A and B are shown apart, each in its own frame.
Chain A
Amino acid sequence: MLAVYLKDLAAYFRTFSGYVFMSVFLLITSVFYITGNVFSANADFNNTLGNILFIFILVVPILTMRLMTDEVTQKTDHLLFTAPISFSEIVLGKYFAAVTVFAVTLLLTCLYPFAISFFGNLAIWEIVGGMIGFFLLGCVSIAIGVMISTITDNLVSAAIGTFGALLAILFIDSFRSIYPVEANPNAVFAAILALGVAFWVYRMTRSHVLGIAVAAVGLGSVGLVFWLKPELYHGFVYHLLGWFSVFYHFGNFQRGVLALSSIVYYLSLAVLVLFLTVQILEKRRWS
C-alpha cells in the first residue's frame, strides 16, 4: 500500500493536478473567508465552512479523476494488477494519497481562523469541531470520487461523473424535504426502487426470468406491505434518503458538536464506498 501511496502522492506534484486542487480550494475558501469573516467582521468561521460545502463538487473531481483512469490509459494497470499486491492496497494507497493532499490544503486554511483570533474572541473548539467535520466530509467525497474514477475509463467521464454524483448528493437534502410524507407517493417510490433493482439484476445476469422474478417479488412485497400496513410508508423517502444525505450531517459539526454518530456515519460511509470500489475491481478480474 505504501508504494502506491507514495507514488500517487508524488504524482500530484509531478503533474499539475495537486497544485490546481490546492489553488482552487484556497481561492474559493479565501473569497468566502474575506467576504464572510473579514469584511463583515464576523468571527464565526464555522458559518463560512457551512457556506462552502459546494466546494467539494468542484475540487474533488480534480483530485480523484486521474487516480484510476490514468492507470488504464497509460496501461500501467497491467503492472499494478499483475503485481503481488491486492486491490485493497491499490485502492487505499490511492485514496490516502488524495486525502493527504486534501488534509494538507485544509491545514493551510487554519490560518484564516488564526488570523481572526488577533481581532476578537474565537470559539476555538467549535472551529476544531467544524474542521474535523469538514475533513470527514471531504474524506467521503474523495471516496466517492475514487469509486467513480474506477468505474469510468477516461478522465472526462470520471470528472463529470464525480461532479454529477456529488451534485446529486447535495440536492438529496432538498429533494427529501419537499417529497410528500404521505403513504401513497412513498409506496410509489418504493415500487420504482424495486423495479430499478430488478433491472439491475437483469443487467448483471442477462436472465429475463430472474429479472422478472425479482421485479415480481419486489412489487409484490411493496404491494403487500401497502395493503397490510400502509402507515409503514409514512416518510419512507425522507428516512431512506437521510442515509445518503452526506451534507446534512455536517450540521452537527458546524454547531461545534462532535457527535459520535456523525463521525461514525462519515467513516462508515467512506469505508463502504471504498469497499465497493475494491469489489468492482475484484469483479472485473474474476468474472
Chain B
Amino acid sequence: MIEVIDVSKRYGKHLAVDRVSFKVDKGEVLGFLGPNGAGKTTVMNIIAGYIPMTGGRVTVDGLDVVENGHEVRRKIGYLPEVPPVYGDMTVEEYCTFVSRVKHVPRRERRQHIGEIMEKVQIADVRRRLIRNLSKGYRQRVGLAAAMIGNPEVLILDEPTVGLDPKQIIEIRNLIKELGETHTVILSSHILPEVSAICERIVIINRGRIVASDTPDNLSQRLGGGNDLVIRVPGQAEAAVRVLQAVSDISDVEVMGEREPGTVDLLVKSERDARSDIFFAFSKAELPLLTMKPFDLTLEEIFLQVTQDPQEGSDDVSSVS
C-alpha cells in the first residue's frame, strides 16, 4: 500500500533522513519508533505530502506522492504532531470545515461527522470552542479530522502524547479497531504503545532505519535464550565462585547492585541450568533471591539499537 524507497531529506547541511526504505502492506498497522529528533515526523510529513523529499520516492497505492499529489492526499488522513485545529472554532464547526475540504458529499456530511465524533468520543464537547478543550480532547479532535472522508491510510504522529492513561488506552483500542479497516502508520517514542498496537515495528534513529520486524521477533532475536539474571545478597565474588562450579556456564557478568545489599548477575549458559544453579547455591548456603530469564523488554531492545554504533554490542548490529 505504501512504499518508501530510499527517501532522504536534507535541511541545509544536516541530513535529517538518510535513505530510508520500508513498505506497509494493505491493512497493516506499522509502528514507527525512535527517540525524539530521529526523523519520524520528517518521514511522516514526506509521506503525507507536507514537505518535499531531497531524494527517493514514495508511492501510496501505486501512485507517486509527488506526481499524483492530489489523488494521494485523498487516500491519506494525517494527524500531525500538533493537532491542526482552529482554536476559535467549535468542534462541530471544525469537523464540518474538514469534511468540506475533504469533499465529503453534502448529504452525507452530518451523519459522517456524527459517526466519527461518537467513535473518538468528542460528541459531548461538539459545541465547545476547541481553544477551551484539554490536550486530550484536542488530540481526539485532530484524530477525528484525520478520519473524516474515510481515507484508506491513516498516518498518526504520536497520537497519544499528552493524554492521561485512561485516554491512552481508549485511543489505543480505537487505533486497533481502525487497523482492521485501514492501513495505519503510527509513530511513537513509547514502546509498550507500539508493541500493543502494531503488527510490525520500524525503529529509526538519526535518520536511519536500525531495525524492522514484528515486536515478538525483535525481542526474541535480541533476547538471551537460556540466559538468566540472578540476585544474591552480599558481594559478587562469592556468587561467581559458586557459579564457576556449575557446568556449561559460558559467562558470568556482574550487573551491579539493584537492591541495597544485593548484587545482580547475568549468567549465560548453553542449556537450561536453572536447577543446577539452584542446588549449587543452596549447597553453598547462599540464598538465591531472584532467578529469572534474561528477556530483553522492548525498552531494552530499543535502547540497544538506538545506541551509538561504537557502544552497541555485536548481536545488535546483526538486526539492522
Contacts and interface: CB of A to CB of B under 8 A. Distances in A.
B80 A75 contact: yes
Interface string B87-115: 11100010001101111000000000000
A285 B52 contact: yes
Interface in B157-188: none
B48 interface: yes
B48 A2 contact: no
B225 to A, nearest CB: 45
B52 A79 contact: no
Interface string B144-163: 01000000000000000000
Given A14-B89, A81-B49, A82-B78, A3 B97 contact: yes
A286 B76 CA distance: 18
Contacts of B45: 78
Contacts of A78: 45, 48, 50, 78, 80, 82, 84
Contact of A79 (B49, B88, B145): B145
B48 A84 contact: no
B73 interface: yes
Interface in A1-33: 2-4, 6-7, 10-11, 14-15
Nearest to A287: B52
B22 interface: no
Contact of B84 (A7, A79, A86, A285): A79
Interface string A250-287: 00000000000000000000000000000000000111
A77 interface: yes
30 contacts: A3-B97, A3-B101, A4-B101, A6-B97, A7-B86, A7-B97, A74-B84, A74-B85, A75-B80, A75-B82, A76-B85, A76-B86, A77-B84, A78-B50, A78-B80, A78-B84, A79-B78, A79-B98, A79-B101, A79-B145, A80-B84, A81-B49, A82-B48, A82-B76, A84-B70, A84-B73, A84-B74, A285-B50, A285-B69, A287-B52
A83 interface: yes
Interface of B: 45, 48-52, 66, 69-71, 73-74, 76, 78, 80, 82, 84-89, 93, 97-98, 100-103, 145
A214 B306 CA distance: 48
Nearest to B73: A84
Contacts of B70: 84, 86
B88 A83 contact: no
Which of A3, A15, A78 gathers the greatest number of chain B CB atoms within 10 Å?
A78
A81 B88 CA distance: 20
A85 B78 contact: no
Contacts of A15: 88
Given A82-B49, A82-B78, A74 B86 contact: yes
Contacts of B66: 286
Nearest to B129: A14
Contacts of A285: 49-52, 69
B157 to A, nearest CB: 9
A67 B100 CA distance: 19
A193 B86 CA distance: 43
Given A3-B101, A80-B84, A83-B73, 10 more contacts: A14-B88, A76-B84, A78-B50, A78-B78, A78-B82, A81-B49, A82-B73, A83-B98, A85-B101, A285-B49
